[in-house]
Structure 1
Amino acid sequence: MIEQTFRAYCPVRTAIIGMPCMFAPDQPTSPGAAPAAPAAPTEGDIERAVRELGLPPLEVRIEPATTTLVKVPTNLYAEPEPFERSVDLLGTPVRVRATPSSFTWHHGDGSSQRTTSAGRPYPHLDVTHRYQVPAEDVQVRVDVTYGVEYAIGDEPWQALDAAIVATGLPTTLTVREAAPVLVRP
């Protein structure tokens, strides 16, 4: 019968709080042999680390600012920033970068739309929505889907198989109704 003992590998310095220790079987060593190198992080380890880091949520910019009119195009846009971080996983340096690949706009009236554009300020109307009824305190938000790449040590960048979604921060909007009135000049 072969007996095998296990040791816990928990790096002294880890940038990810809450990462579980890896358990690996003790390697038989001969006198003067170098200790076995720790296992390289897997794609699953990297995905968990990115989720724990949290990718930046975006805030919707609305034009006109906090009030719009029924049936008038309301311009929506967000301002994504580059995201790149380095973390230590299992004693190995890992570089991570995330790029927005799509945006899901939740209009606060039960409708949503998905785009590959973050929209732009006026006069560009890349992402718009027409509200059909007046409403107070409409919560508008944009969820961003990030494509994530990682590089272990000095290795080349690789795409993470999983896309990661960051839920956006809500912005409050009031939708008003206007009625035309005829007046004498």
Structure 2
Amino acid sequence: MLALVILAGILTGSANAGLPACDLATLQALGYCPEVANPGDSIILDGTQTTSPDPGIFPISRDDWQQIIIDWSPAPPVPDEFTLCLDAWDSGRPCFLPGEDGEEPDEEQDEEAGIPPITITDLARFAPDGSVITGEPDNVGVAGLPTNFVADASVHTVDGELFGFPLAVRFTPSAFDFAFGDGSTATTTTGGETWEALGQAQFTPTDTSHTYAERGTYTAQVDVRYTAKIDLGVGWFPIAGEVTSAGAPQEIRIFEAHTALVAYTCEQAPSSPGC
């Protein structure tokens, strides 16, 4: 804002011919002259008014001055809807103060409790230990002949709790990864069956049999892969992926077999070759 100084020059009868003489008492009564001493040969008019950059038109009358003050007065604030609502409190209308950005949520507005996404790795701890592998007959085999392996694994359900929610998990075997201990491996979709269950003679090949080339002791193992479905009380739904349960190792002894043509059985001749 620009400070406007109203300064009236020296008005004298000789310097301002034709103008009416100034009466200090009259000017002071109108509010234009401060209480200053009259030097006798001049009248000094001054005053200070804060104005906009536009200096306006001189001289400014008392009425104009008051109008300027009115025009420059700040407009009253416009009440918001909440204030208007409070002013009309007897209308029965409920008033709500809107929240502001960044306002901290109340404890009652905490995020709804929900079950986090469940993955197959979350269910790994529910899976059973891997199946123990068994080689027929009695974990003993003959080099050059098939040894039949059987892994016992089946569909099963485990009850438990995950993320604080009770659930049931149903595991279904999807693959069997055999490691026979001589560097050979095989993957099947079945754990195998015994020769008796298959109706086959001993030392005949099966889907899960393996033939060792040399005698020795081998450590065989089978890992079982499972698919999973879970039930949270509203029905079963599948979980993508597979979980693997590692099986316990099992020693398999492989022997060599030699045949000989003899005239008598071992009962008849216990000292015969092979007896």
| Band the TM-score falls in, shorter-chain normalisation | 0.7 to 0.9
Match of 2:224 in 1: 144
Structure 2 contact 127–243 (Cα < 8 Å) conserved:
no
Ranked by relative contact order (alpha carbons within 8 Å, sequence separation 6 or more), the top structure is 1
Q: Which residue in 2 is equivalent to 1:2?
A: 102
Residue 106 of structure 2 is aligned with which of 22, 29, 32? 29
Counterparts in 2 of 1:34 and 1:92: CA distance versus 1, 3 Å: farther
Q: Give the share of equivalent positions with the same residue, in percent.
A: 25
Indicate if the aligned counterparts of 2:132 and 2:247 stay in contact, CA closer than 8 A.
yes
Give, in angstroms, the shift of residue 102 of structure 1.
0.9
Conservation of the 8 A alpha-carbon contact between 1:68 and 1:174: yes
Alpha carbons 1:99, 1:146 under 8 Å: kept: yes
Aligned counterparts of 1:43 and 1:49: Cα–Cα separation in 2: 6
Residue of structure 1 in register with 2:87 after alignment: none
Residue of structure 1 equivalent to 2:233: 154
In 2 relative to 1, CA 117–165 (structure 1 residues): closer, same or farther, beyond 3 Å? same
Which of these residues, 246, 250, 253, is aligned with residue 167 of structure 1? 246
Q: Deviations over 1:118-166 (max 9, x none)?
A: 1111232342111111112x11111111011112x22231211120111
2:190 to 114, 117, 120: 117
Counterpart position of 1:72 = 145
More strand by share: 1
In structure 1, distance between residues paired with 2:224 and 2:164: 31
| Larger fraction in helix | 2
Report the AA paired with residue 143 of structure 1.
D
Does the CA contact (< 8 Å) of 2:121 and 2:243 recur in 1? no
What is the CA deviation profile of residues 44-97 of structure 1, one whole-angstrom value per residue up to 9, with x for unaligned ones? 3xx343223343310012111132101111111122244212222233222211
Q: Mark the runs of 5 or more structure 1 residues left unpaired by the alignment.
A: 5-27
TM-score, normalised via structure 2 length: 0.51
Aligned residues: 156
CA separation in 2, counterparts of 1:104 and 1:177? 27
| Aligned positions of 1:87-106 closer than 5 A | 87-106=160-179
